[in-house]
Chains A and B, each alone.
Chain A
Amino acid sequence: MDKTLQTVAHAMQSRFGAEVQEAHGEMTLFLPPQRLVPAAKALKEEFGFDMLMDLTAVDYWPQLKPRFHVVYQLYAFGRNLQLRLRTGLDGNAPAMDTLETVYPNANWFEREVFDMFGIRFNGHSDLRRIIMPYDWQGHPLRKDYPLGYEEVEFTFNFDEIERKKPYAKE
């Protein structure tokens, strides 16, 4: 593992209480949700992690504490380093602060996570659904959301299918 990355991890450990994990040549910092935004700000301003590459979430249903993990991929262009941040969120309707204030491109990524997982980001400038239709019910990438399929509609079964439409079948 890279020396500079070790230094960064130690600094984050002492300042924000981050839990460090190394696997497959990648470094992950676990942070509590309320400390994530200040930690990202410090990483950006002091350690040169100037690009947010990816932001996504994972659902661990039926486990509820934590139910979700939000995963951030940071990249330091000048030093060519990658770092992953993770934070756990409890419960079925979780919320955390937006990272848009630090990385403006978190905007769409957070909208996608909101759309797909139903995690709300406080202070987000434009928290609307992005991929699913506006009137969609539920959050498709949650594990308690069935995969479902669409039945082919013909004239003879049109009414029957339309009646049960918005709910996907198990």
Chain B
Amino acid sequence: MTDIREVTVDELRHLVTDRALSGETLLLNMGPQHPSTHGVLRLLLELDGEIVLNCVPDIGFLHTGVEKNMEAKTYQKAEVMTDRLDYLNPIGNNLVYCLAVEKLLGLDVPPRAQAIRVILAELTRLNSHLLWLGTSALDLGAMSVFLYCMREREIILDIFEMCSGQRMMTTYVRPGGLWRDVPVEFESAVRNFIELMPRRIDEYERLLSNNPLFLERTIGIGVITREQCIEWGVTGPIARASGLKLDLRKARPYSGYEQYDFEIPTQTAGDVRARYQVRVAEMRESLKIIRQALDKLPYGPVRSNNRKYVPPPRSEIGVSMEALIHHFKLWTEGFHAPKGYVYATIESPRGELGVYLESDGGTKPYRVHYRTPTFAHLQLMPLLTKNHFVADVVAIIGSVDIVLGDADR
């Protein structure tokens, strides 16, 4: 058995100032079990009194080896692991993986499946933003917002359960379409939700937007400029709060987002409050997209007819020998994807979520890499927290909207 080596200050020496070594400044561990870190994130803070001089993020506590495991499973089975990455955006993780597989195979997706994918992706965005709003307001001491947000989130999770039988780990989006069609109650359930939601968002805004305590904690905190966003590859609501008008739903539309009419909310301040404003405005835009998608939801199949890649429906298996062979082949051996590599992206609630997928011509992905927004954004912590109070670090972590499953993979 090998010795467990302790990490010494020497190894972190280049990350802190010289004053830390003489004991003039204080090195403080925040996390991994700190309630404001939304999971298991450890921040090593160098403090001068109450002021943060340096911040060294330490991640990896939630590493599950998803990328390695996916290499050992067929394309269909590997998808189940993607739900577990960003547990607030399961549909988005499925969607981006399926987009990559479809791009590699050249598989078509029926219009009904695309519209349902958009509805569910936007519901997931609302789900994620609601949880973000609740927890980040809770970090700043606004307890009641959390309870209201969880109440509304419950309705979304019920809709997911109605479609897929699962509340969070849905695996509902499949290469070539969806697992199955949505049930008949789906449309009325979503319509009820989008009728109810605008008033509820008004309610949250009444609690927070002009609340002097909330403003005091958020204005001018954790500022990042538009230039820094470009330099550090920042995407999503953080970039938009700094005036970088980048939304992949507009820049590289997927799943038919180009048919829907919606705005990209932006702010220019780039602080915690601007990110709050952007996300709340985004929730309203998501409702607009869902309404449009429901209004022109086409009828038809929800899975591609390409039997070489997509399993046949149950009804065919009993009567068609060929369907039975396809079913058997797809669920034992899987399908052979052509050799090559693709990079597919979607706009997740946190920013650009990308999948780099490489195939060697076999039935298992040769390499899957998730480019996750949280991983890219956690790098900013030293930049964002510099010269702020320790209490503001909590507000900044909340505003970056981190999901550690997304960062550690």
Binding site for B on A (CB under 8 A): 23-26, 28, 50-54, 56, 58-59, 71, 73, 75, 77, 80, 82, 84, 103-105, 107-108, 112, 125-126, 128-135, 137, 140-141, 147, 162-163, 165-166
Contacts and interface: CB of A to CB of B under 8 A. Distances in A.
B376 interface: yes
B371 A147 contact: no
Contacts of A54: 343, 354, 356, 369, 371
Interface in B328-352: 340-343, 352
Given A135-B4, A165-B1, A166-B1, A56 B231 contact: no
Contacts of B230: 50-51, 77
B340 A24 contact: yes
Q: DSSP majority for the A interface?
A: loop
Contacts of A71: 341, 356, 369
B339 to A, nearest CB: 10
Given A23-B340, A58-B367, A73-B371, A147 B69 contact: yes
Given A54-B356, A56-B369, A131-B63, A24 B244 contact: no
Nearest to B360: A60
Interface string B52-90: 000000011001010111001000000000000000000
A82 B65 CA distance: 28
A81 to B, nearest CB: 10
The interface centre, meaning the residue of A24, A26, A103, A125 with most chain B CB atoms within 10 A of its CB, is A24
A147 B91 CA distance: 27
18 contacts: A50-B230, A50-B231, A53-B233, A53-B354, A56-B356, A59-B367, A71-B369, A73-B354, A73-B356, A73-B371, A80-B252, A103-B233, A105-B376, A108-B376, A108-B378, A131-B63, A134-B7, A140-B65
B233 A132 contact: no
A147 B15 CA distance: 34
- Report the 8 A-B pairs with minimum CB-CB distance, sorted nearest first: A131-B60, A54-B371, A56-B369, A105-B233, A105-B232, A135-B5, A58-B367, A108-B379
Given A50-B230, A105-B233, A131-B60, A147 B356 contact: no
Contact of B244 (A25, A26, A77, A147): A77
Contacts of B319: none
B358 interface: yes
B296 interface: no
Contact of B352 (A53, A112, A133): A53
A107 B2 contact: no
Contacts of B246: 77
A58 B375 CA distance: 19
Contacts of A134: 5, 7
Contacts of A82: 252, 343
A15 B171 CA distance: 46
B231 A105 contact: yes
Contacts of B46: none
Nearest to B227: A50
Nearest to A113: B369
Contacts of B206: none
B60 A132 contact: yes
A130 B356 contact: no
A107 B244 CA distance: 22
Contacts of B252: 80, 82
Contacts of B378: 108
Given A51-B230, A137-B2, A58 B358 contact: yes
B14 interface: yes
A84 B358 CA distance: 13
Interface string B145-156: 000000000000
B14 A125 contact: yes
B191 interface: no
A168 B68 CA distance: 14
Contacts of B321: none
A58 B366 contact: yes
A166 B1 CA distance: 7
Contacts of A107: 379
Contacts of B4: 135
A141 B60 contact: no
B376 A84 contact: no
